[in-house]
């Protein structure tokens, strides 16, 4: 809770600063500052993210889920977050087309990651047929 309060406070300060810079015709500086803020937040969030990933891997082991399936799920979630972040940065820079392409690329890559899961399900279904 305390970390989230700090993040929201920093985001509010950043939003006010970015609004001021954009109104003062300093759009390029505002975009660079927004990117720097995002990178800083990602670095702050890396340790908790690693902890969450370790927890999911441990839960997968306990549930006796094959590690390849857990890896696919974690990679898909990571891809979704990265795509959303990239798309939002592009939208902040007023590059709507670039944002749409980043979102589409994220969806395609997630579908590509799902191929082993779909193949495993198909093999299981074929094995059940007489």
Using only C-alpha atoms, the chain has a radius of gyration, in whole angstroms, of 20
Instruction: Note the pLDDT tens digit of each residue in 55-81.
Output: 888 888 888 888 778 888 889 999 999
Instruction: Note the pLDDT tens digit of each residue in 108-123.
Output: 999 999 998 888 888 8
Which pLDDT belongs to residue 113?
Answer: 92
Q: Are 18 and 30 in contact (CB under 8 A)?
A: yes
- Give the residue extent of every domain in the chain: 66-130
Q: Are 93 and 28 in contact (CB under 8 A)?
A: no
**Distance (Å, whole) CA 83 – CA 92:** 14
């Amino acid at each position: 809770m305390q970390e989230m309060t700090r993040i929201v406070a920093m985001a509010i300060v950043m939003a006010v600063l970015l609004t001021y810079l954009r109104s003062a015709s300093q759009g390029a500086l505002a975009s660079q500052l927004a990117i720097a803020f995002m990178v800083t937040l990602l670095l702050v969030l890396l340790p908790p993210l690693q902890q969450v990933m370790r927890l999911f891997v441990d839960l997968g082991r306990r549930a006796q889920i094959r590690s390849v399936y857990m890896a696919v799920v974690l990679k898909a979630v990571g891809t979704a977050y990265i795509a959303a972040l990239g798309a939002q940065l592009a939208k902040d820079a007023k590059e709507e087309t670039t944002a749409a392409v980043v979102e589409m690329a994220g969806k395609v890559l997630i579908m590509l990651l799902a191929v082993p899961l779909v193949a495993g399900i198909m093999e299981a279904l074929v094995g059940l047929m007489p």
